[in-house]
Amino acid sequence: MKSLPWDNNDLGITFSITAGRITIFKTTVKALGFPPYYRFLLDAENMQFAIECCGYMSNGSHSLPGYNTKEHYDIKSRDLVRFIYQTCGWDTTSSYRVKGKIIPERMMVVFDLTSAIGI
């Protein structure tokens, strides 16, 4: 686990196994253009996680909640969070934050799980 500085303008995501929650920063959703539908993608072999814009009929699609005054979106997905923790070998007593990188041509934000920051 690397210790990296964090800027509130960074695209980001946080995983919490105790809450079974994925917290998507509003900066991440804004970079995607506040899509009505998105899906999660996981490449366990390369330790990459992504949020991709998609249509409502796409496999694994979720709808983005409407107006949100918070600076984040909380998504409950206990099984997915557990799988990510197991895949990454993360300590279950910590939450993890990961910076993202926008891939505009794919309308996705990719997170390198090997660069997770324990919080």
Q: Is position 3 within any domain?
A: no
Q: Please state, for a pLDDT cut of 70, what percent of the chain lies above it.
A: 92
Q: Domain tally for the chain?
A: 1
Q: Look at phi and psi of residue 33 and say left if phi exceeds 0, alpha if psi is from -120 to 50, else beta.
A: left
Structural domain containing residue 35:
12-118
Structure tokens at 85: 């923790």
Q: Is position 4 within any domain?
A: no
Report how far residue 57's alpha carbon sits from residue 89's, in angstroms, rounded to the nearest whole number. 33
pLDDT in tens, 15-49: 999 999 999 999 999 999 999 999 999 999 999 99
Q: Of 37, 28, 32, 22, nearest to 84 (Cα)?
A: 22
pLDDT in tens, 61-85: 989 877 677 888 898 999 999 999 9
Q: Is position 1 within any domain?
A: no
Q: Is position 113 within any domain?
A: yes
Q: Is position 30 within any domain?
A: yes
Q: Is position 2 within any domain?
A: no
What H or E segment, with its residue span, contains residue 75? Answer: strand 72-76
- How far from each other are the two terminal CA atoms of the chain, in whole angstroms? 11
Q: Is position 45 within any domain?
A: yes
